[in-house]
Chain A
């Protein structure tokens, strides 16, 4: 296992105290991943939220809960910030006095830059910023993270090893985070749209909707799995499915006529630009 390669990281993971400030869907997805991976016991995890609405689910998982953000910071080494963007500045001001050099602060908050985080936290704070996506909740997420000035290789390795249980987790330069939003954060919605349209086509041709929906989802899952597992270029995999004069090439022609590729590129561009704009606000 990890013991041989990174002994310090392995020890830290099982002795790690993890806190979540904010207990919404994203945080919930990450914590489920952590627990699934069995790296951190539930009792070592604490979450804070203003109301009990979200916290009930955490208690059912065996985690500790509180309404006090400071308590989370006092009790944890690794602190995830998972509040809504407009709430974050206030929360940072609140917890700032309790943040020490032993803390690792990881922000999940959309649009808040490392620069801003470092500005609102003590100068010695190890800060990292992560952008997950929704399927983290089913441990099939795509996450990218970047480090601030005080976060080193150890912190990056720790984060990566903990979160790989939730899906793909890669370190990137901060400038890629907005692109990740356009590609994968929002990208999940594009896939839902595509799945819906596929199913609708099938319904038009006479298949019941529920069945069509399940098959559409499985088709996307299977195709994605083949992409990830074969490592082949998607164009090659596409060609492999197209028998000469067959059904697939006829259908692909329709997609090309509709300039699907350009439209998808437009979508990624629009979401990325919007993420950039929002971060500036």
Chain B
């Protein structure tokens, strides 16, 4: 998106063999195996590790967190208060922002929400928003809505991929070559989403506009309704949201032993998703006029 020069980004990971690591290096991102180094050379710190690892990372880098740092956690189910609590033993007023994004940030069509912590200023939130808006839609929300966002746009791309796979199957069944079917299906969803985003109209109205009386589309829609299409989607969003809450609850209660963590690191655990691991930690150049405090 061009909002940030690659050399101003630092990423760290204990495992240098991950495919994402070479990808980052090729982009010109500074790479290190030391989380502490990453923290020291950054102002905005994205924590993109798996949720159970967060407490250990915080323990490790806590002493190096200074007042200037903005700690942004993308870890699902990890609350702002749990991060603030961990960091407060090292830094009295840690700036914490929690965000939830999704995989299409890769193609700069992400959907991101963020909630600001106790000591994060309005400008800190706006800075994050500026960054994330460069890779899609970004808006601030109350933290208690983040689980719902996970259910909808966090998991959403998976629902879309499933739908597209099935639509392509339908096309193939009716005689289209697979590649063409996939291409057309994806374009149809892309186009429809674009229409909706650019229109003032309700999706129900847009649907009606496609359905000529007695025509092909209304016949097809009847099938969708008969199969409970709408309720399936509602169920999916609900299930994802509820599961997110469950996992958060479990995380609050469970403790993973340090020995177990070391083992998993040694076993080269993959980070949560390829796109999020793009920045295990990043320094962000302040392209606003705010000067760095050291």
Contact = CB atoms under 8 A, between A and B. Distances in A.
Counting chain A residues whose Cβ lies within 8 A of the other chain, the interface size class is 10 to 19
B191 interface: no
Given A262-B222, A265-B225, A236 B205 contact: yes
B204 A261 contact: no
B210 interface: no
Interface string B198-236: 000111110010000000000000100111101100110
Q: Residue among A236, A253, A262 with the most chain B CB within 10 A?
A: A262
B204 A235 contact: yes
Nearest to A175: B214
Contacts of A253: 231, 234, 238
Contact of A235 (B202, B228, B238): B202
B205 A235 contact: yes
A236 B230 contact: no
Q: Residue among B201, B202, B205, B227 with the most chain A CB within 10 A?
A: B202
B225 A261 contact: yes
Interface of B is mostly: helix
Interface in A195-233: 233
Contact of B225 (A233, A234, A236, A259): A259
A257 B204 contact: no
Contact of A259 (B204, B205, B231): B231
Contacts, number: 40
Interface string B5-28: 000000000000000000000000
Contact of A233 (B202, B227, B230, B238): B202
A122 interface: no
Counting chain B residues whose Cβ lies within 8 A of the other chain, the interface size class is 10 to 19
Contacts of A234: 204
A256 B228 contact: yes
A23 B235 CA distance: 53
B203 A265 contact: no
Contacts of A235: 202-205
Contacts of B222: 262, 265
B213 to A, nearest CB: 9
B231 A257 contact: yes
17 contacts: A233-B201, A233-B202, A233-B208, A235-B202, A235-B204, A235-B205, A236-B202, A236-B204, A256-B231, A257-B231, A259-B225, A259-B226, A259-B227, A259-B231, A261-B230, A262-B226, A266-B226
Interface of B: 201-205, 208, 222, 225-228, 230-231, 234-235, 238
